[in-house]
Amino acid sequence: MAAAVLTPEMIVVFGLLGLAIVLFVFELLRVDLVGLLMMVLLPLSGAVSPEQAVAGLSSNAVVSIIAVMIIGAGLNKTGVMNSLAAQIIKLAGQSETRIMVLVSATVAVISSFMQNIGAAALFLPATMRISRQLHISPGRILMPMGFAAITGGCLTLLGSSPLIMLNDLMAGWWQNNGAAVDHRPFEPLGLLSITPIGLALLLGVLVYFLLFADRLLPAEICGLDEECMDKRLEEIYGAEVGQSHEVQVPADFTSHSLGDLELRPRYHLTVVGIAADGGRRKNLAPMRDSRVEADNSLWIIGSRDNIEQAAKDLAWEVKEGHDLFLAENSPEESGVIEGVVIPHSNLSNHTMEELQFRRLYQVNPLAIVRRDSIIMDEINLTSLRQGDTILLQGRWQQFRLLKEKMDIAFIEDIRGEELRPERIRSALFFLLLSLVMALFFGVKLSIALLTGALGMIVSRVIRADRAYEAVDWRTVFLLSGLIPLGTAFENSGAAAYLAQTILTAIGSPGPLLLLTVVSLLTAFFSLVASNVGAAVLMVPLGMNMAAGVGGDPVVAAMVVGISASNTFILPTHQVNALIMRPGGYRTWDYMRSGAGITLLYTAILISYLAIFVSL
């Protein structure tokens, strides 16, 4: 092996790489700005050409991510993600641990036959919906899901780019190094050749988070605007109007009207839903004369203490979570919002009972704020005045109707999105079309996914302006800036210099130590450059070294292909960058969780080879 020589170009690249890592670790700049900084500094320093510096904006990976985000938004618009989230909740219940495992395992399986970034991006809306519906921090689910998506790429030879090109890289080496393998013919790996190793790695990742999630994953954070708004409402109105419960009425309960029960004056509770016949009949804006019958389920807003006292007095059972009203209680479907009675409003000097507020608009008043006082009793009979703030609960679509018909100004934007279930067939058709084009007709992934995204826009599954809004441009610019950094790392010879220096330093190791070093080197190059570049560099280098110490070159190449997915410590991998903002993660969160996964990943891989594979 020729001696490696450090050049000025390599020094510049190493310096820029170090700068990027420092900025990531200490969070001196936002991650997308770090990407843009690299896009500017690399051509100015001469490390790459101006064309190479901006090539990331049109790269296959970045274009694929943009397209998948649009496709995901289209699926979300039709309600497909609602159904998917409901099925996962049905299987896993409301356990955070079971949700995490089921979501992660599902995404891993999807990653085994399509690019892991595509699997993660398609599943991201469903995961966020589940988090909001069950009031679980997205940060508790998205990182395990992302790491499982990356690992799932090792279940088949179709799951990641390095594995897709592995047989071609090995065949090229075999053709030029026939003497090193006694001129025996090359036998390519089969589609499922690495599946046992991939399953072991995936199991290791899931067990790791099962054991250490509480210590490693960030606690609940107010990362989204609507979550911050919920906390502000609780500070103003207290817990009595902010907590949602579901109770079961016993079979021997005597029928009463809500007015007879006096739940509001006695317990400060508001019944916002009554379900009968096992949920087949639901009243989502019950009136004073609405009846509560035996075996009904009630959806009630109020404090935990008050609901428990009422249940005790009335012999009702407070459920652990929502059952019949699970879908209606989803933040995507309903919520609490403040509306202000504006000057000259048609609400002024009228009570909500006079206006038939609940009956016409299907929304439930919870409280009225008048100057410094909060009115919670007899609010339906309270005459409204200009400047009053009304706290309302209901479905988002009903708030849109209320905004059109009444002179009321909502303090925040009405959340949720009007679904278009009539477009579900079009959305699924274009999703399947893009997958079939990529998997069976050899169409480049970015073009196939763009076809699906454009189809959803043209068929009016999603509006063009909403499609632009669906793209997380922070992720786009982060990846676009890191791609030319990887190009510079490879083209300058810095990657080859580092690999040769380390391999020369260890001398002539045994096969097991050699594979460990090759695995860690590949992981490092995949982390700071690209997994494809790492595979192109390390496959021939690892096969040469394995042949030199009497090992199996195919095993060494397989180690490179699998280790190219060992990229967990920094948000530089496409999947890690994708989930960073929705999960509210910082670089330190990746380092804290990813360091253990990286070591575990390597240990499982090498241990499996030592036990089950002839080296």
**In the block, residue with structure tokens 């059109």:** 404
User: What is the pLDDT, as a whole number, of residue 12?
Assistant: 93
What Rg value do the Cα atoms of the chain yield, rounded?
29
Report d(CA 451, CA 434) in Å as an integer: 6
Q: Report CA-CA distances (Å) from 373 to 368, 410, 443.
A: 8, 19, 64
Q: Provide DSSP, 315-377.
A: T-EE-SS-STTTTTTSTTTEEEEEEEE-TT-TTTT--TTTTTHHHHH-EEEEEEEETTEEE-S
What phi, psi does 272 have (nearest 5°)? -110, 0
Question: Residue 516 pLDDT > 90, yes or no?
Answer: yes
Report d(CA 597, CA 491) in Å as an integer: 29
The answer to whether 62 and 56 are in contact (CB under 8 A) is yes
Question: Residue 18 pLDDT > 70, yes or no?
Answer: yes
pLDDT tens-place string over residues 306-325: 899 999 999 999 998 788 88
Question: Residue 287 pLDDT > 80, yes or no?
Answer: yes
User: What is the pLDDT, as a whole number, of residue 374?
Assistant: 83
Amino acid at 57: L
Report d(CA 362, CA 284) in Å as an integer: 7
Question: Residue 101 pLDDT > 90, yes or no?
Answer: yes
Tell me which residue of 256, 237, 361, 247 sits closest to 312, measured CA to CA: 247
Report d(CA 285, CA 362) in Å as an integer: 5
What integer best gives the mean pLDDT of the chain? 84
Amino acid at 45: S
Report d(CA 530, CA 147) in Å as an integer: 17
CATH architecture type of domain 238-318? 2-Layer Sandwich (3.30)
Range of 27-36, 204-213, 329-338, 491-500 with top mean pLDDT: 204-213
Q: Own/partner pairs for 374-382, CB < 8 Å, 24+ apart?
A: 374/237, 376/240, 376/241, 376/264, 376/268, 377/264, 377/265, 378/265, 379/352, 380/288, 380/351, 380/352, 380/353, 381/351, 381/353, 382/351, 382/352
Report d(CA 99, CA 296) in Å as an integer: 28
Report d(CA 506, CA 281) in Å as an integer: 73
Give the model's confidence band at 4: pLDDT under 50 very low, under 70 low, under 90 confident, else very high. low
CATH of 335-410, one of 3.30.70.1450, 1.10.3720.10, 3.30.160.40, 3.40.50.970: 3.30.70.1450
Q: What is the DSSP letter of 253?
A: P
Look at residue 378 and give its three-state secondary structure: coil
Pull the structure tokens for residue 583: 């999960």
User: What is the pLDDT, as a whole number, of residue 39?
Assistant: 93
The answer to whether 125 and 84 are in contact (CB under 8 A) is no
Average pLDDT of span 423-447: 86
Report d(CA 559, CA 539) in Å as an integer: 9
Alpha helices in 27-59 (DSSP H): 31-44, 50-53
**In sequence order, what E strands does 116-201 have?**
none
Question: Residue 564 pLDDT > 50, yes or no?
Answer: yes
Q: Report CA-CA distances (Å) from 106 to 90, 132, 216, 427, 433.
A: 15, 19, 22, 21, 21
How many Cα atoms within 13 Å fall on the side-chain side of residue 125?
25
Average pLDDT of span 336-364: 85
User: What is the pLDDT, as a whole number, of residue 608?
Assistant: 94
User: What is the pLDDT, as a whole number, of residue 254?
Assistant: 92
Q: Do 238-318 and 335-410 share a fold?
A: yes
Report d(CA 70, CA 63) in Å as an integer: 11
Average pLDDT of span 448-452: 91
**Torsion of Cα atoms, 103 then 109 then 110 then 116, to 10°:** 90
Amino acid at 282: K
pLDDT tens-place string over residues 257-268: 998 998 988 888
Q: What is the DSSP letter of 193?
A: T
**Torsion of Cα atoms, 462 then 466 then 467 then 473, to 10°:** -160
Alpha helices in 383-510 (DSSP H): 396-405, 424-440, 445-458, 464-470, 473-491, 494-505
The answer to whether 180 and 226 are in contact (CB under 8 A) is no
pLDDT tens-place string over residues 183-229: 788 888 887 889 999 999 999 999 999 999 888 888 655 444 444 44
Q: Own/partner pairs for 258-264, CB < 8 Å, 24+ apart?
A: 258/286, 258/287, 258/288, 258/289, 258/290, 258/292, 259/288, 259/289, 261/292, 261/314, 263/300, 263/310, 264/376, 264/377
User: What is the pLDDT, as a whole number, of residue 239?
Assistant: 57
What phi, psi does 288 have (nearest 5°)? -60, -30
pLDDT tens-place string over residues 410-434: 877 677 666 777 888 999 999 899 8
Q: What is the percent of the chain with per-residue pLDDT over 70, rounded to a whole number?
A: 93
The answer to whether 202 and 148 are in contact (CB under 8 A) is yes
Q: Report CA-CA distances (Å) from 169 to 174, 447, 554.
A: 9, 24, 11
Tell me which residue of 376, 392, 383, 382 sits closest to 340, measured CA to CA: 392
pLDDT tens-place string over residues 354-392: 888 888 888 988 888 887 788 887 888 889 988 888 888
Report d(CA 404, CA 339) in Å as an integer: 13
Element (H or E) spanning 274, and its range? strand 270-276
The answer to whether 156 and 195 are in contact (CB under 8 A) is yes
The answer to whether 70 and 64 are in contact (CB under 8 A) is no
Tell me which residue of 14, 136, 1, 2 sits closest to 495, measured CA to CA: 14
Report d(CA 92, CA 569) in Å as an integer: 29
pLDDT tens-place string over residues 107-135: 998 888 777 877 787 788 788 878 877 77
User: What is the pLDDT, as a whole number, of residue 241?
Assistant: 62
Tell me how crowded residue 564 is: count the other CB atoms within 10 A of its CB: 29
Pull the structure tokens for residue 578: 């994708």
Q: What is the percent of the chain with per-residue pLDDT over 90, rounded to a whole number?
A: 29
Amino acid at 305: D
SS3 letters for 28-93? Answer: CCCHHHHHHHHHHHHHHCCCCCHHHHCHHHHCHHHHHHHHHHHHHHHHHHHCHHHHHHHHHHHHHC
Average pLDDT of span 89-96: 80
Q: Report CA-CA distances (Å) from 195 to 93, 190, 601, 605.
A: 30, 10, 15, 12
Q: Is the pTM of this model over 0.75?
A: no
User: What is the pLDDT, as a whole number, of residue 391?
Assistant: 87
Q: Where are the domains of the chain?
A: 8-221+473-612, 238-318, 335-410
Strands 334-341, 291-292: parallel, antiparallel or unpaired by DSSP?
unpaired
CA 308 to chain centre: 35
Helix axes of 473-491 and 8-26: crossing angle, nearest 10 degrees: 150
Q: Which of 51-55, 150-154, 438-442 has the lowest mean pLDDT?
A: 438-442
